Amino acid sequence: MPVVVFANPKGGVGKSTTSLVLGTTLAAMGVATSIVDADPRQLLRRWGEQSNTTNPVTIIGSSDEDTILNTIDDRAQVDQVVIVDLEGTASRLTSYAISRADLVIVPMQATAPDADGASEVMSMMRQEERAFRRKIDARIMFNRTNPAIVTKIERQLIADLKESGVVTLETRLNQRQAYSLIFAAFKSLAEMEVDPDLAHHAGGVTKARKNAEALAAEVYDILIGQQENTGAA
pLDDT class for 115, splitting at 50, 70, 90?
confident
The pLDDT tens digits of the residues spanning 133-185 come to 889 999 999 999 999 998 898 999 988 888 888 899 999 999 999 999 999 99
Mean pLDDT of 71-100: 92
pLDDT for 13:
85
pTM over 0.85: yes
pLDDT beyond 70 at 232? no
- Domain map of the chain by residue range? 3-232
- E strand or H helix at 155: helix 152-163
pLDDT for 88:
73
Q: Indicate the burial class of 141 (C-beta count within 10 angstroms; 0-12, 13-18, 19 or more).
A: buried
CA 175 from chain centre, in angstroms, equals 15
pLDDT for 90:
66
SS3 content of the chain, % helix, strand, coil (to 5): 55, 15, 30
| 147: DSSP letter | S
pLDDT for 37:
98
pLDDT beyond 60 at 131? yes
pLDDT for 161:
87
Architecture of domain 3-232: 3-Layer(aba) Sandwich (3.40)
pLDDT for 62:
93
| 189: DSSP letter | H
Q: Which residue has the higher pLDDT, 73 or 8?
A: 73
